[in-house]
């Protein structure tokens, strides 16, 4: 990673004291405490991050409320044009965005490019908001001469709290849909790597989003709690560990907010005896060790079913031998470790493998490798996980599908991305009409 970073010019060597983006402009936080943001490959400080106060959060909310009064009445087709502009700007700065992710988060350049591409895809889906927000009606729905119609209304100000491992993409699971539906958005990126979202906000500003519609507030735990407690914030989107997701859900829901909170994962990859093992092994290595295992869809437990286990163990171990992994604890079979470590288990049959998956407190993703449609269908039907892979190691939904999650991997009702996101960020309004 250090060698790769040396070959690619940095966008900036230092980003200075970061500012909040509020009311359509950059504003210094009232923070008295700061954190140093370091490049994990070099250990060099690349920015200072303010720990924004409750007053900083309130200032962003008040600007968002002022912006919302006009934005909510802006026609969806006009709102969409801002996303078309943002998409073009992100394409123009694609390499810069990717390199800032590398510099601040530490993933490889190809992984960073993949992350930025997924972010752009969510912008593209959100640009279709005129179709996504279409309601429905029924002539004579309540009786002769009485029509009924459903429309979708924005709610106000929403906030998003994102993790360090995907400093760009996770915010884009949420905010394009919130803003496209007529709401205003406050982003709180991870204090560990906020520089990529700083660049995103520069592009948001150039794309012409009105003042207050999209904001960014830096900070850590106290800033998060100020967001969760603010009475004018109507809903919160979050991704992080299950313990923090549960806290976010409980605290925000107690204040009457809508919440979608993604938690941790312990994803199981089941290899059946009829799987094409040579192809499977390379897929397993990518799933378990890609992004250094620091993604919520990473493979964590590999289960060999029946007679395939011995051969699988030998080939998988050989393929992974060149990879350097860190110290691991014996609890890795039960708890999320969020790193490049995979556990290998043996199962007598598919039934036992399914039971193993369903006993886990997590339900983010599960994969089966098989040539049998019957086994694949059984697995898909019975496994309690939100994202199912069939001969796919990382079951990551595209932007036009919701990002699933069950059990302790998700707290809430409606998931990020696609039509689930549209429903989360809007309320249904029913009009019943009769004319004399």
Contacts of 137 (CB under 8 A, 6+ apart): 147, 148, 149, 150
What pLDDT shows up at residue 290? 63
Highest mean pLDDT of the ranges 108-112, 130-134, 335-339, 344-348: 130-134
Average pLDDT for 349-373? 97
From the list 38, 33, 124, 110, the residue with the least C-alpha distance to 80 is 124
Instruction: Looking at the structure, tell me whether residues 252 and 307 fall in a common domain.
Output: no
Q: Which residues pair with 304 in a beta bridge?
A: 271, 346
Whether 231 shows a pLDDT value over 80: the answer reads yes
Instruction: Looking at the structure, tell me whether residues 278 and 259 fall in a common domain.
Output: no
Phi, psi of 399 (to 5 degrees): -60, -25
Average pLDDT for 284-309? 79
Q: Which two tokens stand for residue 31?
A: 């923070």
Could you read off the pLDDT of 167-222 as tens digits, one per residue?
999 999 999 999 999 999 999 999 999 999 999 999 999 999 999 999 999 999 99
Q: Is residue 298 part of a domain?
A: yes
More confident residue, 266 or 171: 171
Count of domains in the chain? 2
What pLDDT shows up at residue 328? 27
The C-alpha atoms of residue 46 and residue 10 are separated, in whole angstroms, by 11
Q: Is residue 257 part of a domain?
A: yes
Q: Is residue 22 part of a domain?
A: yes
What pLDDT shows up at residue 294? 55
Q: Is residue 423 part of a domain?
A: yes
β-pairing, 45-50 vs 136-143, is unpaired
Diameter of the chain measured on Cα atoms: 79
CATH code of the domain in which 348 resides: 3.40.309.10
Q: Is residue 54 part of a domain?
A: yes
The C-alpha atoms of residue 3 and residue 44 are separated, in whole angstroms, by 15
Dihedral of alpha carbons 206, 210, 213, 218, sign = positive
- Tokens 């906030």 sit at which residue? 159
Distance (Å) of CA 402 to CA 281, 396, 416: 28, 10, 6
Q: How far is CA 152 from the centre of its chain?
A: 24
CB burial of 132-150 (b: ≥16 within 10 Å; e: otherwise) equals: bbeeeeeeeeeeeeebbee
The C-alpha atoms of residue 423 and residue 132 are separated, in whole angstroms, by 10
More confident residue, 325 or 405: 405
CATH code of the domain in which 243 resides: 3.40.605.10
**DSSP labels, 285-348:** HHHHHGGGG-STT-EEEEEEETTHHHHHHHHHHHHHTTS------GGGGTS---SS--EEEEES
Instruction: Looking at the structure, tell me whether residues 205 and 138 fall in a common domain.
Output: yes
Q: Which two tokens stand for residue 387?
A: 């994202």
Instruction: Looking at the structure, tell me whether residues 218 and 286 fall in a common domain.
Output: no
What pLDDT shows up at residue 400? 94
Q: How far is CA 248 from the centre of its chain?
A: 15
Average pLDDT over the chain, rounded to whole?
92
What pLDDT shows up at residue 370? 97
Confidence of residue 340 (pLDDT cuts 50, 70, 90): low
Provide the percentage of residues in the chain whose pLDDT is more than 70. Answer: 92
Q: Is residue 436 part of a domain?
A: no
Instruction: Looking at the structure, tell me whether residues 421 and 310 fall in a common domain.
Output: no
Instruction: Looking at the structure, tell me whether residues 85 and 217 fall in a common domain.
Output: yes
Domain that holds residue 308: 267-398
Could you read off the pLDDT of 126-160 as tens digits, one per residue?
999 999 999 999 999 989 999 999 999 999 999 99
Average pLDDT for 235-243? 98
From the list 244, 210, 221, 217, the residue with the least C-alpha distance to 233 is 217
The pTM of this model reads 0.91
More confident residue, 329 or 239: 239
End-to-end CA distance of the chain: 73
What pLDDT shows up at residue 342? 76
What pLDDT shows up at residue 2? 45
What pLDDT shows up at residue 329? 22
Residues 191 and 51 sit within 8 Å (Cβ to Cβ):
yes
Residues 289 and 278 sit within 8 Å (Cβ to Cβ):
no
Q: Is residue 198 part of a domain?
A: yes
Active-site residue list: 296
Q: Is residue 434 part of a domain?
A: no
**DSSP labels, 348-393:** SSHHHHHHHHHHSSEESEEEEE-S-HHHHHHHHHH---SEEEES-S
Could you read off the pLDDT of 378-415 as tens digits, one per residue?
999 999 999 999 999 889 999 999 999 999 999 999 99
Instruction: Looking at the structure, tell me whether residues 284 and 241 fall in a common domain.
Output: no
């Amino acid at each position: 990673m250090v060698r790769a970073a040396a070959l690619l010019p940095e966008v900036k060597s230092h980003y200075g004291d970061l500012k909040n983006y509020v009311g359509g402009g950059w504003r210094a936080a009232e923070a008295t405490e700061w954190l140093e943001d370091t490049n994990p490959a070099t250990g060099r400080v690349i920015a200072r991050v303010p720990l924004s106060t409750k007053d900083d959060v309130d200032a962003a909310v008040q600007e968002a409320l002022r912006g919302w009064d006009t934005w909510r009445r802006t026609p969806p087709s006009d709102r969409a044009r801002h996303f078309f502009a943002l998409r073009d700007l992100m394409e123009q700065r694609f390499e810069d965005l990717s390199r800032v992710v590398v510099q601040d988060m530490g993933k490889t350049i190809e992984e960073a490019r993949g992350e930025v591409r997924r972010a752009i895809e969510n912008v593209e889906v959100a640009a279709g908001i005129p179709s996504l927000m279409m309601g429905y009606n029924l002539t004579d729905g309540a009786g002769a001469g009485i029509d009924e119609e459903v429309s979708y209304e924005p709610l106000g100000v929403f906030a998003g709290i994102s993790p360090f491992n995907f400093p760009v993409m996770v915010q884009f699971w949420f905010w394009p849909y919130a803003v496209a539906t007529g709401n205003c958005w406050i982003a709180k990126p991870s204090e560990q790597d906020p520089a990529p979202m700083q660049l995103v906000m520069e592009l948001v500003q150039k794309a012409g989003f009105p003042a207050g519609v999209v904001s960014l507030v830096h900070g850590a735990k106290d800033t998060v709690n100020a967001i969760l407690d603010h009475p004018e914030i109507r809903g919160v989107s979050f991704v992080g560990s299950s313990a923090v997701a549960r806290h976010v859900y409980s605290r925000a829901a107690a204040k009457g907010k809508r919440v979608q909170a993604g938690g941790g994962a312990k994803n199981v990859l089941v290899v059946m005896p009829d799987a094409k093992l040579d192809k499977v092994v390379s897929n397993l290595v990518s799933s378990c060790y890609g992004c250094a295992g620091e993604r919520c869809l990473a493979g964590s437990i590999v289960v060999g079913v029946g007679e395939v286990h011995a051969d699988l163990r030998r080939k998988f171990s050989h393929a992974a031998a060149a990879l350097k992994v860190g110290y691991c604890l014996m609890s890795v079979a039960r708890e999320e470790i969020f790193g490049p470590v995979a556990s290998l288990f043996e199962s007598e049959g598919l039934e036992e493998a399914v039971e193993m998956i369903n006993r886990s407190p997590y339900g983010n993703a599960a994969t089966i490798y098989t040539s049998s449609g019957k086994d694949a269908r059984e697995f898909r039907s019975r496994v309690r996980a939100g994202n199912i892979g069939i001969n796919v190691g990382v079951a990551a939904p595209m932007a036009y599908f919701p990002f699933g999650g069950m059990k302790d991997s998700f707290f809430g009702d409606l998931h990020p991305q696609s039509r689930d996101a549209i429903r989360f960020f809007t309320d249904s309004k029913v009009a019943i009409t009769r004319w004399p």
